[in-house]
Structure 1
Amino acid sequence: MRLPALFEQGTDMIARSEYLERMRCLRQRVAEAGLEAFLVSSEDSIYYLTGVSYRPLERPFFILVKPEGKQVLLVPALEQEHLRAAPNVDEVLHYWDYPAPVGQGWAERLLELLEGFGQVGVEPSLPQEIASRLAHLSPRTLPLVEALRVVKSPAEVEMLRDAARYADLAVEKLLATSYYGVSELELFAQGRAVQLRIMKERGYDVLTSSVLVGSWPAPLSAQPHGVPTIADRLEVGPHIALGFLRVNGYAAECERTYFLSPPREVERAAFAVMLEARRRAFALVRPGVDCSEIDAVTKDFLQKEGHGGHLLHRTGHGFGLGNHEAPWVAEGCTDVLRENMFISIEPGIYLPGVGGIRHSDTVRVTRDGYECLTHAPTDLASLTITASKRLHRVKGALMRRAAGVK
């Protein structure tokens, strides 16, 4: 599958010159690593270097990056003309298809390109199918592109700011639509409204955009990656509203715990502890701070408050082309915060049989602190919704009837 280059569509705020600079920086890092060639193969890495959106499916794509000389892109034949839009690739070669007759597939063409090179590097995400064909070269696995991506350029900052704005919109719509007994069908449907707003205001690259909007109902919200059905209803307990978006290549999220009936004491107490854990995490966000320190301080507080057995994940993760990428706000991570890194802050408490208590925000590290780019309310009063919302109930009943949901 393919779509024209973003910088040709007008949905991209990133200039051609920035793509050229990204390749220059990568070539410099290839040289510093003592490599004769570096093989870029992941979809996000190729998109980051070229601005060309595509979907590889079973057909692999490769950029052969050298410290000097021509940069070569190898693609399936049906993508050759499309990928010529890449601003910083000197030559676009192709293989026939996948699978292909002997001598016409990606493996043969790739090995031809690599012939004569000694020190070759590959990305950590290289699929095993490809790695096995390169084993005789003993390639070095290096996250060179990931290291470039971790600090965002001014243009990327604006792209991420846009994505965060729509994540906020998603939560706003979920909270506005929710009432005691609302179905997941009605809440998931809000994703369409968010998607249409993006299309109207920013354009929409279907291959680098995605919209996940919904609320995880209690008690399923105690399983962060549990999967609700469209027939599920939100009633008693803590529910988690989620806007999890990628807008024309750049990702953000906003999450809020909310209630559709007065919270019980155990829920109120856990909510207060979660807010204090967030406050402590935010207080540490600034350049020079170890990501692992933020996670350790947050986790230590939650454990001292009696929730050691109610923790399921780290304090946060990075944003960029992916919704989850470096830097990782987690113990065991060696990343140190720098200006214009983007992270989430989302300590969570998960009470079995009750539900999950978690807010999440998209956060930019600034020169001397942080900027929170998502602005949905965080206090318990604002997130306790008891209005009857008669019109929403009528609309919901009609929607469920049309979808055959009880």
Structure 2
Amino acid sequence: MNLTPTNEFPNESEIASRLEKVQQEMHKQGLDYYLCHDPDNIFYLTNFANFIHERPFIVIVPVSGAITFLIPKLEEPHVQIRSVGEINYLSYFEFPAPKGEMWFDRLQDVLKPSHRVGIESLCPVNVHNAVPGEAIISDIVDDVRMIKSEFEINRIAYTCQLLNEGHATLLEQAAPGHMPVLSHKEISGSMTQRMITDNLSSNLLCTNFAAVSQPPNLSHDPHNFTDVLTTMVEGGPHVTVVAGKANGYGAELERTFFLGHVPEKAKKPFEDMLEARALAYELTIPGNCMSEVDRKVNDFFKSRGYAKNLLHRTGHSFGVTNHEAPFLAEGYEHEIKPNMIFSIEPGIYLPSIGGFRFSDTVLVTESGNLKMTKAPETLEELTLPIKNL
């Protein structure tokens, strides 16, 4: 499959296609309306990025026809500038507001007691309680988001391009004594600047980048970035994390690397991690079960003695977020299908040695998979010469 990276916004046809898929599923479930409160689902259906606060934004999806977007009057011009597609706007003045002028009063101008209304499983209680008819929990939009359109694949491919460049710069800067926080500042700024240069209307509300690494005394604890003054050291394993969303679409790229030499105790875990990774790639193909991919990878690690050194699943998806369904995880009994996108990142974590993990953003194709991110792969390539600061 040929990728054509793009940083453009979705057009009306793309948004209409997403809405059509949602409405088809609503029809199957016998719903009259569906409410989206989750900012990620709202962005997916409108291209408008918001964050949750006391003034709610709610997309009201009918089983046919255009959506209604319930918004604070304060945000109306902003919403109309950013939104894409056929949308009916319904505004409320403020929160709190006098009786009869609250956001839920406007919601009930559309929804009636006779309506069957779908709501997200993470829908806030106050929104749930404002539904006058029967509220049915169903994550329709989240489910539709699992299979990516050609546009989404190419948007994620663009984010991957930025991450590839940022990761290469991070490895170029790696040296004993270097502070990863300095790389983060420079590289995340550079990726943001490149994104804006490529699209001057880029939306910073749905953009974030990280470009960091953990030295061996922290890399066994994959989310521990509490010591911002930590420095790289000779040896390893160091683990990189270069990830983020560019203009609303996420991806990630991670590697384990060494400075100067590879400690003897790190050689076998590194090779075992690569073998588990190869197994995950072999299994992440159309028709296979996501749960089975993770189970077989975990079984492999356990056969090598790492049962107590596993901290996470084999992978997760990307889209309008950095982490979303579907998941390569035991207990997640779903079929892998073409045009799904996953991280493939089996890892092992040894407190006395460090962490061992690669992560790539991977597209499932009709016949296999395609790695969308690029970085060094071998122990030789990832044993970096020591540079003077």
- Normalized against structure 2, the TM-score is what? 0.92
Name the structure 2 match of 1:18.
14
Structure-2 change in CA distance of 1:201 and 1:139 (3 Å): same
Q: Following TM superposition, where does structure 1 have runs of at least 4 consecutive aligned residues deviating by more than 6 angstroms? A: none
**Cα distance between partner residues in 2 of 1:195 and 1:84:** 24
Aligned counterpart for 1:34 among listed residues 19, 23, 30: 30
Shift of 1:148: 1.2
Q: 1:172 to 1:87 in 2, by over 3 A?
A: closer
Q: Describe the shift of the 1:170–1:112 C-alpha distance in structure 2 as closer, same or farther (beyond 3 A).
A: same
Q: Which residue in 2 is equivalent to 1:48?
A: 44
Q: Which runs of 5+ in 2 are unaligned?
A: 1-5
Instruction: Give the SS at the match of 1:139.
Output: strand
Preserved contact between residue 80 and residue 93 of structure 1 (Cα < 8 Å): no
Q: Deviations over 1:383-403 (max 9, x none)?
A: 112322x3xx1xxxxxxxxxx
Write the deviation string for residues 287-332 of structure 1: whole angstroms up to 9, x where unpaired. 1111111101100000000001100000000111111111100011
Cα distance in 2 between the residues matched to 1:277 and 1:205: 38
Farther off after superposition, 366-375 or 25-34: 25-34
Rounded Cα–Cα distance in structure 2 between residues aligned with 1:142 and 1:87: 25
Structure 2 residue aligned with 1:158:
154
Does the 8 Å CA contact 1:217/1:234 hold for their aligned counterparts?
yes
> Separation in 2 of the partners of 1:96 and 1:132?
21
Aligned-pair distance for 1:89?
4.1
Q: Secondary structure at the match of 2:275?
A: helix
SS at match of 2:326: strand
2:350 is matched with: 351
Alignment partners' CA distance in 2, 1:69 and 1:305: 56
1:62 — aligned with what? Answer: 58
Superposition map of 1:114-129 within 5 A? 114-129=111-126
In 2: Cα distance, 1:173 partner to 1:365 partner:
28
Assess if the C-alpha contact under 8 Å between 1:170 and 1:242 holds in 2.
no
Equivalent residues of 1:208, 1:248 under 8 A apart = yes
Count of paired positions? 380
Task: State the secondary structure of the residue aligned to 1:222.
Answer: coil
Q: Select between 360-369 and 86-95 the one with higher mean Cα deviation.
A: 86-95
| Aligned match of 2:3 | none
List alignment gaps of at least 5 residues for structure 1.
1-9, 394-406
Q: Give the one of 101, 104, 109 matched to 1:104.
A: 101
Q: Deviations over 1:90-144 (max 9, x none)?
A: 421111223333332222222332223331110122123323444x744111111
How far is the alpha carbon of 1:185 from its aligned partner?
Answer: 2.9
Match status 1:220 vs 2:221 = no
Query: What CA RMSD, in Å, does the superposition of the two structures yield over aligned residues?
Result: 1.8
Shift of 1:29: 1.5
SS in 1 for 2:101: coil
Cα distance in structure 1, aligned partners of 2:172 and 2:349: 25
- 2: CA distance between counterparts of 1:25 and 1:218? 46
Q: 8 Å contact 1:20–1:87 — kept in the other structure?
A: no
In the other structure, the counterpart of 1:75 is 71
- Distance in 2 between residues matched to 1:277 and 1:11, nearest whole Å: 34
Identity of aligned residues (%): 33
Q: Matches of 1:21 and 1:304 in 2, distance apart?
A: 46
Equivalent residue for 1:198, pick from 192, 195, 198? 195
